[in-house]
A = this chain, B = another copy of it.
Amino acid sequence: MAKELKDLTKRSDNYSQWYNELVVKADLAEQSAVRGCMVIKPYGYAIWEKMQRQLDDMFKATGHQNAYFPLLIPKSFLSREAEHVKGFAKECAVVTHYRLKTDKDGSVIVDPAAKLEEELIIRPTSETIIWNTYKNWIHSYRDLPILINQWANVFRWEMRTRLFLRTAEFLWQEGHTAHATSKEAEEEATRMLNIYAEFAEKYMAMPVVKGVKSPTERFAGALNTYTIEAMMQDGKALQSGTSHFLGQNFAKAFDVQFVNKENKMEYVWATSWGVSTRLIGALIMAHSDDNGLVLPPRLAPIQVVIVPIYKNEEQLKLIDEKVSGIVEKLKVLGISVKYDNSDNRRPGFKFADYELRGVPIRLVMGARDLTNNTMEVMRRDTLEKENVSCDNIEIYVQKLLDDIQNNIYQKALKFRDAHMIPVDTYDEFKSKINDGGFFLAHWDGTAETEAKIKEETKATIRCIPFDGDKTPGKDMITGKPSKQRVIIARSY
């Protein structure tokens, strides 16, 4: 067994360490020399590219266009919306100078003469710079809606960082839309949450709970924040995407008014929505196992790897020939396939390596397979092996990729559903929270109760779910009336 694999901590021993090791060993990302910033390595970035391509298609299919706004935001812009600046002030990277110079002793220093009149903030999010721009674009209801998305890097100075899950710089997309009515904006915010949920379930094979955040957990400056919450294998929640109904807050802060159909001036209604490289962390934690990554075929950079087993060059040549035809047939079906006939690693090492990297299907051809016109097929999700005829094997593989995609989803769904735990008393909740899971509990809707839960159990209200039981009840702590059960969990 390959060294990398042997060394991987087991999930049951230390889930957190297993994750940290896996990200590095599977060559997805590593810490950089800049505090809190990661290097996304080619294999990790290839997953992000697959995510981007799919999400981008979904955004465009719903009428959105991409654009690009400045990286830097004047401090005064960020300060314009009171809640917004309160939410981000503590995490701002501030640009104060625009030049370096060589000091008398030859060292390179910041030129004190090149101080900016107004400091600039590296965008933690772009509502302010974008709404300042929209002001010039929107005059009449005819200019609406504006449906724009941006793929960008953002920066939030986090103190405790973890690769993909929480980094100072991360990559994301941020949608920023402008609408003539509150209703349209609400519909847009819901539409985009549904797109995120569809992406999570169909492509990431990761079931999610859709719901609304409590006022405490809202995006700074929003009237409502909608979220998709996924359950990781340790029972913790991972907020995987959010969509915000911003009301008229940013329009008011930047004085963006339009002439409506009734010929009256009105402030514009807004939404914003985003997902980030955090999704890669979610993907890893949702499916992977003690052998390494388990990637859903739809997001796997390599869907099929083919490894030859041979005793001599002559055998290899025959296998190469046979495999090249199969590779072509797989490619025609749009399947991304890698034939690894490199001679610098033994087959056993290759097997362990591709398992670690989560390649969904491994095909092996040895001398006997060549004679029998067969290949050994291994599926990464279950590690099951089977011998399959080479005739029409591309059809077999195509179907198997669908099966794996579906199986990974069903497995995650089953796990999630098995860990949705209704609790009726605070004692019961406290006795079970350490084991993880999504707890369905009644909450009186107050920030005080919410704060108490967080302080005493480190769990938070993840969302008030849209679907499911809406039966009223009594808060598990205060006994006050509750409209419906909410989801409480520890989270990443």
Contact = CB atoms under 8 A, between A and B. Distances in A.
Given A34-B70, A42-B148, A94 B92 contact: no
Contact of A79 (B37, B49, B85, B108): B108
B65 A42 contact: yes
Contacts of A129: 32-34
A95 to B, nearest CB: 5
A447 interface: no
Interface of A: 30, 32-34, 37-42, 45-46, 48-49, 65-75, 77-79, 85, 89-102, 107-108, 110, 119-122, 129, 132-133, 136, 142, 148, 152-153, 155, 157, 169, 171, 344
Contacts of A102: 89
Contacts of A153: 71, 152-153
A75 B100 contact: yes
B68 A85 contact: no
Contacts of A65: 42, 45-46
A188 to B, nearest CB: 17
Nearest to A29: B68
A85 B71 contact: no
B122 A71 contact: yes
B95 A99 contact: no
Contact of A73 (B34, B97, B119): B34
Contacts of A85: 100, 108
Contact of A93 (B72, B74, B91): B72
A484 B155 CA distance: 50
B34 A120 contact: yes
Contacts of A132: 33
Nearest to A42: B65
A94 B119 CA distance: 10
Given A37-B72, A39-B68, A155-B71, A95 B94 contact: yes
Interface hub of A34, A121, A148 (most chain B Cβ within 10 A) = A34
A157 B98 contact: yes
A109 to B, nearest CB: 8
A66 B90 CA distance: 32
Contact of A66 (B46, B73, B136): B46
Contact of A110 (B39, B72, B119, B171): B119
Given A94-B97, A96-B110, 18 more contacts: A33-B74, A34-B70, A34-B72, A34-B120, A37-B70, A37-B71, A37-B72, A39-B67, A39-B69, A40-B67, A41-B67, A45-B67, A46-B65, A46-B66, A90-B101, A92-B98, A96-B96, A96-B97
A65 to B, nearest CB: 4
A46 B60 CA distance: 12
Contacts of A148: 42
Given A100-B121, A108-B89, A70 B32 contact: yes
A155 B120 CA distance: 13
Top 6 A-B residue pairs of the complex, sorted by shortest distance between their CB atoms: A42-B65, A37-B70, A40-B68, A89-B100, A94-B97, A79-B108
B89 A93 contact: no
28 contacts: A33-B132, A34-B70, A37-B70, A37-B72, A38-B70, A42-B148, A45-B65, A45-B67, A45-B68, A46-B66, A68-B171, A70-B169, A75-B100, A75-B110, A79-B108, A85-B108, A90-B100, A92-B98, A93-B95, A93-B98, A94-B96, A94-B99, A94-B110, A95-B96, A95-B122, A96-B97, A100-B121, A153-B153
